Amino acid sequence: MAEPAEPAPVPARLTVLSGPSAVGKSTVVQTIRRTWPQIWLSVSVTTRRPRPGEEHGREYFFVTENEFSEMASSGELLEWARYAGNFYGTPRGPVVERLAAGVPTLLEVDVVGARQVRAAVPESLLVFLAPPSWDELVRRLTGRGTESPDVMTQRLDAARGELAAEGEFDITLVNTSVDEVCGQLVALMTAQPARRPGR
């Protein structure tokens, strides 16, 4: 009688965190980076200028539009989009490597990027980070003071459209407490996926 085959390793699930600008995605990601080192956080590339305190390779890889265009045209990006006048994208190679190694992987992208990831990786888990209210989101957006009035108007208009996309996501977390949201998100990422009947 033949020995039973070893069960195939369960690949890590790709989790995508998205939501409107200023909802707190970056704060959640920074907290997870500090507190849960077993979770790998993809670093996006962008053509926007660094904000005060940001470092190349930590928050983002800051590149020129020509460099970004070359990455997109050569298939190096898992997803990419233009947002408020700048390009953002996720390098494909590091994500594929971490997932193949079974490392829980988190992407922080906008709604357009989340749709692209779902198309490329259908088994990914899409998590929508929602604000406690629209007024709170406006307060956070206008409180930054880092964008011009024109860009601020673009961001508010984009936020309305992004909030309307909530129903496309697998689960919604309301950002009333960063620590609570991080705990919920990590629990989702590290839970063992349910096996299908007969497997």
d(CA 140, CA 123): 32
CB 20 within 8 A of CB 114: no
What is the pLDDT, as a whole number, of residue 70?
A: 96
Please give the CATH architecture assigned to the domain spanning 14-190: 3-Layer(aba) Sandwich (3.40)
- Measured CA to CA in angstroms, residue 20 lies from 2, 17, 69, 130 at distances of 55, 11, 25, 7
Predicted confidence (pLDDT) at residue 6 exceeds the cutoff of 70: no
CB 188 within 8 A of CB 15: yes
pLDDT digits (tens, 9 = 90+) for 163-173: 999 999 999 99
Domain boundaries, the chain: 14-190
Give the chain's mean pLDDT. 86
Predicted confidence (pLDDT) at residue 4 exceeds the cutoff of 80: no
Predicted confidence (pLDDT) at residue 84 exceeds the cutoff of 90: no
Q: What is the mean pLDDT of residues 114-127?
A: 93
The number of beta carbons lying within 10 Å of the beta carbon of residue 104 is: 20
Give the distance from CA 140 to its chain's centroid: 19
What is the pLDDT, as a whole number, of residue 50?
A: 93
Q: What is the mean pLDDT of residues 66-77?
A: 95
d(CA 100, CA 63): 27
CB neighbour list of residue 33: distance below 8 Å, 6 or more residues apart: 41
The number of beta carbons lying within 10 Å of the beta carbon of residue 83 is: 20
CB neighbour list of residue 79: distance below 8 Å, 6 or more residues apart: 89, 90, 109, 112, 113, 114, 116, 117, 120
What is the pLDDT, as a whole number, of residue 193?
A: 55
- Which residue, among 48, 39, 3, has the nearest Cα to 21 in the 3D structure? 48
